[in-house]
Amino acid sequence: MCDNNDKPCCGAHKEIDFGAADEILNQYRGKEGVLIPVLQKIQAEYGWLSQPLVEHIARELNIYLSEVYGVVSFYSQFYTEPRWRYTIQICRGTACHVKGSLRILENIEDELDVKAGQMTKDGKFTVEEVNCVGACGIAPVVILGQKTLGSITVAETLDALRNFEEQ
Amino acid sequence: MSKNSKNKKLNNKSVNTAPNTNELTQVLICMGTGGVAAGALDVWASFKEELVLRNIPAMLGKRSCKVKQTGCRGLCAMDVLVDIIDPKLGKHTYKHVKPEMVSDLIEKHILGHEPIVKWFAGKDYEQFYVKQERTVMKQYGLVDPESIDDYIEAGGYIALKKAFKMEQVEVIEEVKKSGLRGRGGAGFPTGMKWGFCHATHGNDKYIIVNADEGDPGAFMDRSLLEGNPHAVLEGLIIGAYAIGCNHGYFYCRAEYPLAVKRLKIAIEQANEHGFLGDDILGSGFNLDVKVKEGAGAFVCGEETALMASIEGMRGMPRPRPPFPAHQGLWKKPSNINNVETFANIPLIINNGGDWYAGIGTEKSKGTKIFSLTGKIRNTGLIEVPMGITIKEVVFDICGGIPGRKRKFKAAQMGGPSGGCIPESLVDVPIDYDSLVEVGAIMGSGGVVVMDNTACMVDMSRFFLTFTQQESCGKCVPCRIGTKTMLEILTRITLGHGCEGDVDLLISLANDIKGSSLCGLGQTAPNPVLSTIRYYRDEYDAHIREKRCPANSCKALLKFEVIEELCKKCGICLKQCPVDAIIWKPKTKAVIELDKCIKCQTCIDACPFLAIH
């Protein structure tokens, strides 16, 4: 059961409205090789892929549930856990690594008391390591919410985080 | 030389035919990912707002001002870059433009016709272009990537019309003559690849653009797709015609949303103009092109894994044979090339294979785009002829290493599949074969420069962490072998390494290379082998002395200031985020270890490498 209304819902205890999912499924039904785009669109709609949703997709597309989970767990962009609206993404490409992105990640983890891949206890942020975002010219790169912060230092990252909380 | 005069001709043409260039002042704002991250959208908005505010009839016709967005200019370190082209004064480039500078730029430069010298991009900017040979990237900064008309004005789709007047085999012959080799990394001759696929029967074949640019540190494909998507699309259509296939795919990684957006716009526009769809240009040839977005898996850059992913499955590689040219996507004959490879095709068709073969070295033809990143003064994208040396690229084009006590240590090429080129080999020419000889690879063109603060054991561990995470798990050597290697490397960086670890790493590496299923596993040990080859002393220092010579591995650091090296400047104090440093003018800095959070900011900040 979800006991905290401030957190995103775990989806386990209540009925999910499959309406939006069905609309997406209807566009793809009967075509070949549609599983990945279907998952992408449904995730964009619901935020993450809960178990009931994945089961629904498997049933509707007539694909084994194990196969759908195989695909969901294979690709790093699919989430099987709820995520909060704000993500802090730390680019872990080579250029960012050489310019100290590991230090930035470790300090964010310490500051927020989470590990990469987890949501903070107050449910405000999800911290994520991401593969190279291709903005190596301005490494190291942190994407805070919608904003890309380039050539950033540990001190500046922590400042940005603290100021973000004040907003 | 003839190739230069041809270049000039094309260049002039693209400038002269731009709309109303003679009357308009043009403002060109770099809107690549680098530019946008540096605040290009704000600068763009400021220009628009100020022009309206000052009642300058922006974009309304003669004697007004045209504000235009352009794709990635290459020199991301100076973003936001803005060109102001005044009909009388010519072009001036400003660097690090911020919204608050816009009002002055309009007042003094656009209205007053007096450029603001202190904001000029200056010497470094010019130096950046001197040794480059921009052919593929020539239209960068001139063409609006979301406008097919811009591209056509700049000479776009002429190659396509020319190709459609040629026989299919003639097109392939021209590409063979050019000597173009795959720009994705392996360097397989493109013409030959097309020939294989052409030789199969029917038109029910697939042509795929591999835009799953997963190599960390490489972003030339992103930049091409964001900066000039029509050039890649034109190359794809020519390829499809030559091979004789009716279905095309762009497989683009999901981390590049802007590239996906611009690609989709380009495809739509090409459809409207009759360059795609049924009966293209009245030739009777049909081609439909779709964009598939990846979902985040490095191994999908491998051709058979990519095809599995398009089919909607886990992106796991398949054993070859059968090769994709016979049985690829949906078990149909398929041809797959990299983004940059396709971007070269219109140039080859326009100027001829012989022209292209005149650039570069004996076995590596043409130009190559590299992304220069890491500890280097001018980071960004460069396009250079094959055969140029690392030294020229790092020092002449990109301005060398910043920081007084920082020295060039190594250039990492080819990402997680590649290797390091140490200082002693900076004169090695950049071509496919020379790089393999020294233990690196061309790769897709990512060059990460490291200075003497980079620990090579840590770099190995970094790459192994990556490949280990991205290993699909299908074959055992890659799945378990890379994990074991990573465990050994991790214990070395933590100071728990033992005698014999390095030999064990070498033996494991050779086994994994020899027995893995696909390119990911076969090349994953390269970064380790290459660093052991050139920096074995660093491994030994970690294992025997429990010391990191580059002062990078956190577990082996003492966080002490070295008295003899400290110049008492106080820079560390200003950078420390937790005020753990005690310093007064003319005294040595002292780190209070109970306050210190070991973030290593001071170590990075100290210009004299005085903290260890």
**For position B275, what pLDDT does the model report?**
96
Two tokens, residue B447: 């060059």
Two tokens, residue B255: 């981390």
For B160-209, write each residue's pLDDT tens digit: 999 999 999 999 999 999 999 999 878 899 999 999 999 998 778 999 99
For B250-259, write each residue's pLDDT tens digit: 999 988 888 9
Question: Which of A132, A142, A146, A161 is the best mutation test for B, with the most CBs of B within 10 A?
Answer: A132
First-last CA distance in chain A: 30
SS3 B289: strand
**For position B18, what pLDDT does the model report?**
39
Searching chain B, which residue's CA lies closest to the CA of residue A144?
Answer: B37
CA distance B137 to B367: 10
Residue contact B314–A76, C-beta within 8 A: no
Residue contact A131–B373, C-beta within 8 A: no
Q: Where does chain A have alpha helices with state H?
A: 19-28, 35-46, 51-61, 65-74, 94-98, 101-112, 154-166
Q: What is the mean pLDDT of residues B271-292?
A: 94
**For position B62, what pLDDT does the model report?**
29
Higher pLDDT, residue B237 or B297: B237
Say if residue B520's pLDDT is above 70: yes
With an 8 Å Cβ cutoff, is B77 touching chain A? yes
Two tokens, residue B436: 């393999």
For B91-105, write each residue's pLDDT tens digit: 888 988 888 998 888
* CATH for B18-126 (3.40.30.10, 3.90.1150.10, 3.40.640.10, 2.40.30.20): 3.40.30.10
Task: Name which of A49, A42, A51 is nearest A19 in CA terms.
Answer: A42
CATH superfamily of B148-357: NADH-ubiquinone oxidoreductase 51kDa subunit (3.40.50.11540)
Task: Name which of B397, B358, B361 is nearest B377 in CA terms.
Answer: B397
Which residues of A, range 19-38, sit inside 8 Å of B by Cβ? 32-37
Contacts with B466 from chain A: Cβ below 8 Å: 92, 131
pLDDT under 50: residue ranges of chain A: 1-7, 10-11, 13, 166-167
**B578: pLDDT confidence band, cut at 50, 70 and 90?**
confident
**For position A54, what pLDDT does the model report?**
95
Tell me the pLDDT of chain B averaged across its residues.
87
Question: Which of B494, B599, B611 is the best mutation test for A, with the most CBs of A within 10 A?
Answer: B599
**For position B67, what pLDDT does the model report?**
65
CA of B7: how far to CAs of B21, B37, B130, B381, B449, in Å?
20, 32, 15, 20, 31
User: What is the CATH architecture of B456-544?
Assistant: Up-down Bundle (1.20)
Say if residue B39's pLDDT is above 90: no
The structure tokens 């990394």 sit at B185
The structure tokens 């107050």 sit at A122
For B344-379, write each residue's pLDDT tens digit: 999 999 999 999 999 999 999 999 999 998 899 888
CA distance A137 to chain B (A): 5
**B141: pLDDT confidence band, cut at 50, 70 and 90?**
low
Q: Are strands B367-374 and B446-451 parallel, antiparallel or unpaired?
A: parallel
Sequence-distant contacts of B167-171: CB under 8 A, at least 24 apart: B168/B198, B168/B241, B168/B242, B168/B243, B168/B244, B169/B198, B171/B238, B171/B241, B171/B242, B171/B349
Angle, in degrees to the nearest 10, between helices A19-28 and A35-46: 160
Two tokens, residue B95: 């660097």
For B376-426, write each residue's pLDDT tens digit: 988 888 999 999 999 999 999 888 898 888 899 999 998 898 999 999 999
Say if residue B76's pLDDT is above 80: no
CA distance B402 to B444: 25
**For position B172, what pLDDT does the model report?**
96
The structure tokens 């985020």 sit at B577
Searching chain A, which residue's CA lies closest to the CA of residue B473?
Answer: A74
Say if residue B313's pLDDT is above 60: yes
Task: Name which of B454, B434, B274 is nearest B374 in CA terms.
Answer: B454
Please, where in chain A does CATH 3.40.30.10 lie? 86-166
DSSP state of A144: E
Q: What is the mean pLDDT of residues B318-323?
A: 90
The residue ranges of every structural domain in chain B are: 18-126, 148-357, 367-451, 456-544, 557-612
* CATH for B557-612 (3.40.50.300, 3.30.70.3270, 3.40.50.1110, 3.30.70.20): 3.30.70.20
Task: Name which of A131, A162, A121, A157 is nearest A142 in CA terms.
Answer: A157
Alpha-carbon Rg for chain A, nearest whole angstrom, is 18
Q: Give, for B291, the enclosing helix (H) or strand (E).
A: strand B288-293
**B16: pLDDT confidence band, cut at 50, 70 and 90?**
very low
**How many other CB atoms sit within 10 Å of the CB of residue B510?**
12
Partners of B374 in beta bridges: B449
User: What is the CATH architecture of B367-451?
Assistant: Roll (3.10)
Partners of A89 in beta bridges: A128, A143
- The one-letter code for the residue type at A149 is L
For B477-515, write each residue's pLDDT tens digit: 999 999 999 999 999 999 999 999 999 999 999 999 999
Q: Are strands B247-252 and B206-211 parallel, antiparallel or unpaired?
A: parallel
CA distance B80 to B30: 6
CA distance B411 to B395: 12
**B73: pLDDT confidence band, cut at 50, 70 and 90?**
low
CA distance A29 to A22: 10
Residue contact B37–A158, C-beta within 8 A: no
SS3 B365: strand
Residue contact B297–A76, C-beta within 8 A: yes
Q: Write b or e for each residue in B403-413: b if 16 or more Cβ atoms lie within 10 A of its Cβ, otherwise e.
A: beebebbbbbb
Contacts with B311 from chain A: Cβ below 8 Å: 32-33
Contacts with B375 from chain A: Cβ below 8 Å: 98-99
Two tokens, residue A26: 């209807």
**For position B35, what pLDDT does the model report?**
76
CA distance B136 to B159: 14
Question: Which of A34, A94, A153 is the best mutation test for B, with the most CBs of B within 10 A?
Answer: A94
Say if residue B293's pLDDT is above 60: yes
Q: What is the mean pLDDT of residues B155-161?
A: 94
CATH superfamily of A86-166: Glutaredoxin (3.40.30.10)
Query: Burial, B266: exposed, middle or buried (Cβ in 10 Å; 0-12, 13-18, 19+)?
Result: buried
User: What is the CATH architecture of A1-82?
Assistant: Orthogonal Bundle (1.10)
Residue in A74, A75, A131 nearest the CB of B216: A131
Helices first, then strands: H and E counts in chain B: 25, 15
**For position B63, what pLDDT does the model report?**
33
Please, where in chain A does CATH 1.10.10.1590 lie? 1-82
With an 8 Å Cβ cutoff, is B216 touching chain A? yes
**For position B69, what pLDDT does the model report?**
64
CA distance B180 to B189: 6
Give percent above pLDDT 70 in chain B.
Answer: 92
- The one-letter code for the residue type at B302 is E
**For position B207, what pLDDT does the model report?**
96
Ranges of beta strands (E only) in B116-155 are none
With an 8 Å Cβ cutoff, is A145 touching chain B? no
CA distance B413 to B391: 14
**How many other CB atoms sit within 10 Å of the CB of residue A65?**
13
**For position B17, what pLDDT does the model report?**
36
For the four alpha carbons of B189, B193, B194 and B198, in that order, the dihedral sign comes to positive
